[in-house]
Structure 1
Amino acid sequence: MSDLGLLLRKAREQRGYTLDDIQEITKIRKRYLEAIESGDYKVLPGSFYVRAFVKTYAETVGLDAEEVLRLYHKELPKAQAPEAGAPEPSYIQPKSRRVQHNDRVGKVVVTSLMWLFPILIAVVIYVYYANNKTETNKPSESTPPSLTTETALPSSAATPTPTPTATPTPTPTPPQTTVTFREKKNSRYYFDVSPAGTHQLKITFPGGKSWVGVNENNSSGKSIYGKTPEQSEELTFELGETPLYVNLGFAKGALIEIDGIAVDDEDVPGRRRFIFTVTDGAGQPATPTP
């Protein structure tokens, strides 16, 4: 096993990760991860991707990826550009398409503007003179004499009537948020949040860096967030009608709060998965208002 592989393996084991966990988080195949830990880089799809895989692995287990690459650059194979037509690993996102400008269309637009500009100036001048001519032909309107209105002074004998003061309507106090543990099923912790409405789910990292994955409904739902933030970062998400699935790679390092209420994660190392559902207070999922 190489020095770099030993470092990554120790960091992984300290956080309670298995290679299957790293594969699910990074989308890098397990056999590539095993090759990185053993130092057998020939198994990887090409030297061009070795540094990318190592960097992603290091970030996932909470290491400084740039520092790892700097310290072990001699151990890593020299990066070479991938061959044309070679398939890229599945975890790498496709490059954004470049927008190609059509020179012919641009020339047509410029030519059209050159012809329209003098016509626009002529129209503005015509409208200006037409308005001035209309204003000149209008008869001057005489200013009506100002009317002076005398204000009657109230009689000294009159007693002022007190103005009734409206009693302010008390503002109803909103119900307090409650977070209730419902059950543990298939290694997932289910929590009910009430009352119905919108709540704020906040994740901080007082105990160390952790990979965070957030999806709608469940692990296969729409992905909202998925990476390892800095320890000083604070993540906030809106919890409403759609349940939120939260996957923490290093649960002991993270703290989940809903409207300021801390969620009990048993304070144990390793991975923890949660599903938060807003209910009406009676254990029933909140339904949208028609």
Structure 2
Amino acid sequence: MTVGETLKQARTERGLTLDDLQNNTKIQKRYLIAIEENNFKSLPGDFYVRAFIRQYAQTVGAPVEDIMGMLDEQLGQEKPVVAEESTEEEPKSRSVLREKISAQTPPSILDKVMSHLPAIIIVAVVVLILGAIYVTTLNSRKAQDTTTDSDVAVSREVESSSTKTSSKKQSSQKDTNSESETANSEAKKSSTKKAKANSKQTITATSSSGTSFNYELKSSAKENVIKLSAADGTSWLAVSANGSTTWQGTLADGKEQEVTLPEGTTAIRINVGNSQATKLEINGKKFDFLKENSSATVRTINLTVVE
């Protein structure tokens, strides 16, 4: 069975109609029909194919991972098979090497070495222990001599440094006060500049075609921050900067995601799978994208950044 047939069978077994499924998932009925007919080209894009099918399977109680695996096979996306290297030759090569070594070494010499091996190991261990004790004792004596000399030198320096400490404390307090005042004034200036930049930000609708809407973003920050959130439903979203996908995923009801775009981004694209359940903020300001055709559930938002 295909992905569409499997999902349709699961829906009918649960006694759900396409209208019921549309109300539960917020996916338009024509997209649900296309999924059941395996007509994935009728969906807005590859991102929505996987997002919609995953939501369909969760709603009708079908095994999600099995359905996604069937989808990959149906679309021809096979998982790479990692070939395991055979290690059968390794034991053979080791045994051959042992036979060669045994053949080259006379049995009598090898037996003598093996018989004295435990004694040799014990002697080596004892020598290492004695050496470690000697080195530790020598270092301890050197440390005691160094400590005695340093204590005498420190006692002489304490008297001269104590007179300097009070004057240094007074000067350091003055420096600290002046530095804190400077930092506070710089922080106030920085926050004032950010507030002015955000107040000047404007988003203007320029054109639209079907479910694609174009805007112009003026006086934006150097690094634009897109905040995505879902309310009263699940939202499927994807954010791209200059043609490269920065983040994509599904947000459950009450969840949010913040995406910081690279500096110098001039083109921003936001794909929205459930407009009524999605809220957007750009650089801390609410973006009311539903003003343009609020009935469009699936939409693509294109923002051109203008200095």
TM-score normalized with structure 1 length: 0.49
Q: Answer with 1 or 2: which has the greater Rg.
A: 2
Higher RCO structure (Cα 8 Å, ≥6 apart) = 1
